[in-house]
Amino acid sequence: MTETVRYNSHPEYAMNKTLHALRLILATALAALSLAAHAQLSIEITGAGAARFPVVVPIFENESALPRGVSDIVKADLERSGLFNLVDIGPLSLPESRVPDLADLRSRGADAALAASVIPQPDGRYEIRFRLFDTQKQQEIGGQVLRMAPAQNRLTAHRIADFIYEKLTGLPGYFSTRIAYVVKSGARYELQIADADGANPQAALVSREPIISPAWSPDGQRLAYVSFEQKKPIVYVHTLATGQRQVVANFKGSNSAPTWSPDGQQLAVVLTKDGLSQLYVLSADGSGVRRLATSSGIDTEPAWAPDGQWIYFTSDRGGSPQIYRIPTSGGSAQRVTFEGTYNVTPRPSADGRLLAFITRNNGRFQVAVQDLTTRQTTILTDSTRDESPSFAPNGRMILYASESGGRGILAAVSSDGRVKQRLSVQAADVREPAWGPAQKQ
Amino acid sequence: MKQLVLPALLAALLAACSSTGGPEQTGAKVEDRAGSGSGVATVTAPPLSGSGIAALTDPNNILSKRSVFFDFDSFVIKAEAKPLVEAHARFLVQNPQMRILIQGNTDERGSREYNLALGQKRADAVKQALQLLGAKEGQIESVSLGEEKPRCTESTEACFAQNRRSDILYSGEF
């Protein structure tokens, strides 16, 4: 590097202009790359559930032995869900090795309490032992032992929060899941993967051209998305662990809106190779394309129902964009939405009971949810520019894109509309969120 | 040393920018839950090299006009755009070796994917007009950029109108 700096100070060399330009481009590219990892999402809770479960999560016994803490992250996870009220007992820790004074904890207003200890291991790792107690029934609810490397404090905390959430609500937690989204800063697009709380963001792809519609494979190992890097929309499948990318749909015309089958073997996509935007199904390696439906309008935004039997999609075949569903084996489409003149982006919950989508309500685009059993629809948000809803794996929360102060932000709302959060990145547009599947533990 | 630096920089630059074009590219590794990842893939658009035909870029020639604008929620080519479409059709008929890419665009309101489909209808409208005027199907690819590449980025009607358009690109320009 010292050599190159010296050249820069001698402008008489004809070569220098080229060198300087090259160096500038390189420096810009490197700076841009290093900036990426620091744009972390920050979360603001804007609403909470009505009845919140009071729980004590104390500082872990011997937690100061850890280079980076765990209990604060557990508390933040539970707090953010809007379902828990963290009862503060000060700097007191409750060792895992003995039953805490449950009557005392109950008198402080807690219905449940975590007792947890950190035990350093000879190999440099740490053992986290914890038990959860019911202060009303005066009994242990359950416990676990986790082993972690020092850098795994966040993941460990998310697992503990998942455990508490599941034991106290009866639903699986979602704190150790990941989210994908696209950050646009200037003319630069970055596909990022982060923890569900927005921490630990990592760039999977950086491009000068737009990236849209990321879709997680059911095993959480791959993302399908649409990239415009070849001056037209092409569908790629990207393996996260290796960074390997494969073109799976690059037919004449536009290729877009990928969605995975529940077994991860197939993709539904939208192609225009035969004219209008229509639905096709192909293998996840891009082979064996077949047309799923034929209409005289636009068919787009397919989403596979978790039972594998149906594909929900948006179509304007009836004059305005509405949500329909069609059997995966082919056949005739059934209309799903009837209220209003703009209902798009259907996304079913993992249990198949709810369908989230975007509805236009008096000129404002908002997140709505339909109970697929009762057919009742509820609008969950009061914003104006909502897009791209996706459910947490347990169906309790819906992540979506919205707008605030002229910038794209991510937001989440509970499927009953009570809990609301906003996630934003400083000085950048965030869009196209997709909530990943439950992580195998 | 002078001789060594330039090739090294060039090599580094090429490594940073060469990941275009191929069907198989390497993206960034993203941390597996057990391990740690590193490196980021950067994809960069290839530079414009141009078709080499002066008429296409001569500002006094109608062929240098490449944008066809549409009304809100409309896919009909307006009368004012007819001379432009006719000129490009004539050029394609006279130059059967020429290929074009038509990129349809929409304003920013609503779903990105639905807008992608609407942009496709705008691209197809221009494609069909060119074919009716004698251009061959094989000369034309129509694609959509949806709301992703706005020419104007304010949320005003004047701006939205700029973005409801199809652009014609000739070989070497895309």
Average model confidence (pLDDT) for chain A?
Answer: 90
Chain B environment of A270 (Cβ under 8 Å): 113, 116-117
- Across the interface, which of A200, A204, A231 has its CB nearest the CB of B101? A231
The long-range contacts involving A276-285, CB below 8 angstroms and separated by at least 24 positions, are A276/B117, A276/B120, A276/B121, A276/B124, A277/B116, A277/B117, A277/B120, A279/A311, A279/A313, A279/A326, A280/A249, A281/A328, A282/A248, A282/A249, A284/A217, A284/A222, A284/A237, A284/A248, A284/A260, A285/A237, A285/A246, A285/A248
Contact check, Cβ <8 Å, B26/A344: no
Contact check, Cβ <8 Å, A205/B27: yes
Q: How far apart are CA A194 and CA A181, in angstroms?
A: 8
Band (pLDDT 50/70/90 cuts) for residue A46 is low
Contact check, Cβ <8 Å, A227/B112: no
Percentage of chain A lying above the pLDDT 70 cut? 87
- Across the interface, which of A18, A208, A387 has its CB nearest the CB of B45? A208
Fold of A178-435: Neuraminidase (2.120.10)
User: What pLDDT does B53 receive?
Assistant: 84
Band (pLDDT 50/70/90 cuts) for residue B150 is very high
Chain B environment of A29 (Cβ under 8 Å): 16-17, 42
Residue of B nearest to A277 (CA): B117
User: What pLDDT does B12 receive?
Assistant: 42
Taking the Cβ of residue B100 and every Cβ of chain A, the question of whether any pair is shorter than 8 Å is answered with no
**Distance, in angstroms, between A337 CA and closest chain B CA?**
16
State yes or no: pLDDT of A4 exceeds 90: no
User: Residue A256 class from Cβ within 10 Å (0-12 exposed, 13-18 middle, 19+ buried)?
Assistant: buried
Q: How far apart are CA A177 and CA A199, in angstroms?
A: 11
Mean pLDDT of A15-30: 41
User: What pLDDT does B4 receive?
Assistant: 41
Mean pLDDT of A205-224: 97
User: What pLDDT does B29 receive?
Assistant: 67
Range in A109-113, A364-368, B21-25 with the lowest mean pLDDT = B21-25
User: What pLDDT does A39 receive?
Assistant: 56
- Across the interface, which of B39, B114, B124 has its CB nearest the CB of A314? B114
State yes or no: pLDDT of A26 exceeds 70: no
State yes or no: pLDDT of B25 exceeds 50: no
Contact check, Cβ <8 Å, A233/B145: yes
User: Do A52-169 and A178-435 come out as alike in CATH topology?
Assistant: no
pLDDT digits (tens, 9 = 90+) for A342-352: 999 999 999 99
Residue of B nearest to A15 (CA): B6
Domain positions in chain A are 52-169, 178-435
Mean pLDDT of B117-131: 97
Band (pLDDT 50/70/90 cuts) for residue A439 is confident
State yes or no: pLDDT of B54 exceeds 60: yes
User: What pLDDT does A130 receive?
Assistant: 98
pLDDT digits (tens, 9 = 90+) for B91-109: 999 999 999 999 999 998 8
**May I ask the CATH class of domain A52-169?**
alpha beta
Domains of chain B: 1-45 (no CATH), 54-170 (3.30.1330.60)
Residue of A nearest to B108 (CA): A385
User: Residue A116 class from Cβ within 10 Å (0-12 exposed, 13-18 middle, 19+ buried)?
Assistant: buried
